[in-house]
Amino acid sequence: MSPTTSDLVAGIDSSTGATKVELVDLASGAVVGQARSPHAPTTPPVSEQDPQDWWRALVDCFEQLQEHLPAIRALSISGQQHGMVTLDADNVPVRPAKLWNDTTSAPQSTELIERVGATAWATSTGSIPGPAFTVTKLAWLAENEPDSLELVRRVGLPHDYLSFRLTGRWTTDRGDASGTGYWSPTSGEYLPDLVQAAGVRPAWIEFPEVLSPFEAVGVVTAPELLALGVGHDVVVGPGSGDNMCAALGLGVRPGDVVVSLGTSGTAYAVSEQPTNDESGFVAGFADATGRYLPLVCTLNATKVTESIRGLLNVSYEEFDELALSAPQGSNGLTLVPYFDGERTPNRPDATGALVGLRTSVERSDMARAGFEGVTCGLLDGVDALTTSGVVADGRFFLIGGGSKSAAFASIFASLSERDILLPASDETVARGAAVQAGCVLTGQEPDHLAAAWSLDQSRLVTPPDSVAVSASVVRDRYRTEANFR
C-alpha cells in the first residue's frame, strides 16, 4: 500500500520493567505519540511476572493514546526474550512467567548440558542453554512443579502471549524462537528431543507456529482494543525479541556491532551465517529479517553503576562528572561487576569485587571503576563475537538507557578504541517493532524503510587523543580479576 500522511504504525516494547508504545507516521517516520505503563519490579534470582499484567499494561498504553488509535494501520510487538509463559486448556496462565533473568534453573541448565553435551546443543540450536533459556525453565517446572506442568497445554514467550491476546493466533517468529533452546535457527524446526530432555513430553504441549519474517499474524480481534477505537483491519506483524527489534530500529547491517546498556547488557551483530559457540559465550540467535543475530548477554550493566551512584549519593550528572574526572584505569582500581551472579560467563553464584583499594582512593576512582568494569565485560563480549567468526568492522552503536550517560559513551569509545554512534531515538526497540509493522503493511524492505525514516541519524563519540593508561592494560587487568570470581 502507499502510505498517506494520516497513516500510523505502532511499535510495542514489552520489556522487563514496562510496556512502551511508540506511534510512528508511516510516511515520514516521525513520532506522533508515546506511552508507557510500568510492570511489577523483579529481583533475581527469582524473577517472575504475571503475563496478564503485561496485557493490562498494553491496554493502558493504548488508553493513553486513544485520540490517535483510529489512524493506526499496523502494529508489532517486541518482548523480553526467553521468558517461559505457560497456558492451560482455557489459555489462562498456569503460573507467573519465569523471566530471562530468573536464575533458579541454573542446576537444570548444568544437568541439560551434561546430559545432551555442549557440542550437540551448539550444533542443534546454535547456543548452550544457560539459565536464561526457556528449555531450562521447562526443566525446572518439570522437577519442581509437576502438578503445574500437568495443566500446561501451551508454552511460549512474552511476545507470543501478547500477540495471542491481540489476534487469537498462537505464533512466534524465528528471532524469539531461537532463544528457547528447543528450536533450530538453521533448520527452522522445533527439536522435540530437547524438550523431552527437559522432562516434558512434547505431545502434551502446543508450541507457537514460527512465522516467516514480515509475515502477518492476522488482524486485531481483542475486544479491549477494539472498544478503544483500534480498527478491525489493523494488521499485526510477527513481532520478535527485544534485541532483534532493536536491530531493525537501528537499521543494522552485517558488520555493524550493537552494545545495549540496560539493567543487563548485550553485545550483538547481524550476520549472514549462523554461529554455534560450544563455550556458551555467544548465543547463536536468528534475527527478524531471515539472517542471524549472534549475541552475548551479561546480567549486570546499569544496575551496577546505579548501585555505585547510590553509594556515592550523587545525581546522575555528578556521577558522570566524577567518573570523567578520574584518569583511565581509575588509578589502579578495578571493579568486577558480577553483582547478581553472571550469565556470560555462566557464573550464577558469583559476586562482584572491587580490587586495588589503597588509602589514596578517591570517590572519582570508584565512580570510573564502575563504568570501566561494565564496559570491559561487554567489550569482552564483542571480542567473543569476532572469535566466533562474526565480522564486526562496521559501525559501533551504543544504545539503551545507559547510553545517555556521558561517562559510558566516553569510556566505551576510549576502551574500544573505536568511534561510537549514539542513535537519536531513545526507544530503538519500540521503533524496530514499528519498522516491522511498516514492512508487513507495505511490503517494503526494512533497509528501505529505515532510510526513509532517517534511522541512521546518530551522534558520534570519538576516542580521546591520549590516556593515562592504555586500553589494553585496563582490559587485561579486568580479565585477570574477573577470572578469579
Residue 120 has pLDDT above 60, yes or no: yes
CB 366 within 8 A of CB 354: yes
Residues labelled as active-site residues: 242
CB 217 within 8 A of CB 167: yes
Q: What pLDDT is recorded for position 455?
A: 66
Q: Enumerate the domain spans of the chain.
A: 8-238, 253-423+455-485
DSSP secondary structure letter of residue 40? P
CB 459 within 8 A of CB 396: no
CA distance 468 to 412: 16
Q: What pLDDT is recorded for position 421?
A: 95
Residue 232 has pLDDT above 70, yes or no: yes
Q: Is domain 8-238 annotated with CATH 3.20.20.150?
A: no
pLDDT single digits (tens) 12-69: 999 999 999 999 999 999 999 999 999 999 988 899 999 999 999 999 999 999 999 9
Residue 485 has pLDDT above 70, yes or no: no
pLDDT single digits (tens) 264-300: 899 999 999 999 998 889 999 999 999 999 999 998 9
Query: How many Cα atoms sit within 13 Å of 252 on the Cβ side?
Result: 39
Residue 84 has pLDDT above 70, yes or no: yes
CB 259 within 8 A of CB 247: no
What does pTM read for this prediction? 0.91
CB 75 within 8 A of CB 165: no
Question: Do the domains spanning 8-238 and 253-423+455-485 agree at the CATH topology level?
Answer: yes
Residue 202 has pLDDT above 90, yes or no: no
CB 14 within 8 A of CB 77: yes
Average pLDDT over residues 308-328: 98
Which residue do the cell numbers 511476545 mark?
159
Average pLDDT over all residues of the chain = 94
Average pLDDT over residues 113-123: 96
pLDDT single digits (tens) 235-263: 999 999 999 999 999 989 999 999 999 88
Residue 26 has phi, psi (to 5 degrees) of -65, -35
CB 278 within 8 A of CB 118: yes
Apex 262 CA angle, 260 and 263, nearest 5: 145
Number of neighbours of residue 168 by Cβ within 10 angstroms: 13
Residue 128 has pLDDT above 90, yes or no: yes
Residue 37 pairs in a beta bridge with 19
CATH numeric code, 253-423+455-485: 3.30.420.40
Residue 1 has pLDDT above 80, yes or no: no
Beta strands 72-79; 31-38: pairing state: unpaired
Nearest to 11 by CA among 28, 34, 43, 27: 34
Question: For residue 414, what are the CA distances in angstroms to 10, 264, 304, 337?
Answer: 37, 21, 20, 19
Residue 456 has pLDDT above 70, yes or no: no
Q: What are the residues whose beta carbons fall under 8 Å from the beta carbon of 147, sequence distance 6 or more?
A: none
